Amino acid sequence: MLAIIGGSGLTQLSTLEITHREVVRTPYGEPSGALTFGELSCTPVVFLARHGYGHTIPPHQVNYRANLWALKQVKASAVVSVASVGGIRTDFAPGTLVIPHQIIDYTWGRKSTFFEGAEESVRHIDFTEPYDAKLRQRLLAAAAAAGEHVFDGGVYAATQGPRLETAAEINRLERDGADLVGMTGMPEAALARELELPYAALSVVANYAAGRSASEHAIQFDSIELVLQEAMIRVRCVLEHLCKA
């Protein structure tokens, strides 16, 4: 069963034929909300809104451990993350879809491992390639089948939020090699790896990152909403073809 975690702009899957919802308890507290079960293109799917179904949970307060644990508990076989990002690269314009291949983590203070505490021994995971290669290829194939152009690869910078970055911070991220900037990519990807859940991301560029727009000095939030509304139609199409494969 495929799990889909929706971020800003995807608090529900309108094409999901819902069968039931389930509240899942975890040793790590409450997930962002009840899990929504159903079928997408005749394939079993479980959906979770990362920020809650009313979009009330900021990025730094998402209970990433509870979310991933709950999905593992209900027998999810893989996780696709959908999230909005800012485009640092000039060709990552608003509305662009990207399947990133690498992560740089700038977050702090988040619960980032299941292996801690007096009763847990320290364990290390190989995180050389943070996204599952086979799941990434499935996403790329689904996008091609849907006729949707996506960029294959990009370095995702995970920042703390909830505020957006300064222009100087974006300059720093670019010097570090980042192509995209978002607030929810970590520790989500690492926790999925700890649980041995194949994990990949479909990033939606909602806006140019700070200081990257040629026409505006400040980010216009009204235009972000319009971009996300259009882009999420394409995202749903890609997900439907992913489930058909």
Q: List binding-site positions.
A: 8, 50-51, 183-184, 207-209
**Number of other CB atoms surrounding residue 163 within 10 Å:** 9
Could you list the residues known to form a binding site for phosphate, using ranges: 8, 50-51, 184
Q: What contacts 190, CB < 8 A, 6 or more positions away? A: 112, 113, 125, 127, 130
d(CA 242, CA 135): 10
Backbone angles phi, psi at 94, to 5 degrees: -55, 135
d(CA 223, CA 6): 20
Which 3 state secondary structure label does DSSP give 130?
coil
**Cα–Cα distances in Å, from 238 out to 95, 129, 142, 213?**
14, 23, 6, 28
Which 3 state secondary structure label does DSSP give 77?
coil
d(CA 88, CA 156): 10
Could you list the residues known to form a binding site for substrate, using ranges: 183, 207-209
H-type alpha helices, 34-181: 64-73, 133-146, 167-176
Region class of 177: left (phi > 0), else alpha (psi between -120 and 50), else beta? left
Amino acid at 40: L
Largest CA distance in the chain: 55
Q: Is residue 150 within 8 Å of 142, Cβ to Cβ?
A: no
